[in-house]
Amino acid sequence: MNALTTFADRRAAPLFTLIQRIAAPLLRFSLALILLWIGALKFHDASPVVGLIHASLFSPLASATFVHALGSLEIIAALLLFAGTLVSAASGG
């Protein structure tokens, strides 16, 4: 049983190495894609977001201008994630 486990560990090691190498960039890319999508939707139709903000404690901020500014910040954050800017600072390294 010990020899079988050692054999399986040796066969799986390259796969685990590959996964460890691509996991962080893939996570960063997927988060950037989602942020870009959500930010772009705020420019397509701001009224649902304005309604949600109006129903919350932040109702004074319920305007299309605020929603567009929020969408702009989300798009900027997505572009920074795509570019990999400040990734080492954010990860603590």
Supply the pTM of this predicted model: 0.75
| pLDDT score for 88 | 67
| pLDDT score for 16 | 85
Query: 32 Cβ partners below 8 Å, 6+ apart?
Result: 77, 78, 79, 81, 82
The secondary element (H helix, E strand) that includes residue 4 is helix 2-44
| pLDDT score for 12 | 80
Crossing angle for the helix pair 2-44 and 64-83, to the nearest 10 degrees: 150
Q: What are the sequence ranges of the domains in the chain? A: 25-90
> pLDDT tens digits, the chain, 93 residues: what are they?
566 567 677 888 888 889 889 998 999 999 999 999 999 999 998 899 999 999 999 889 899 999 999 999 999 999 999 998 766 665 655
Residue for token digits 């901020």? 61
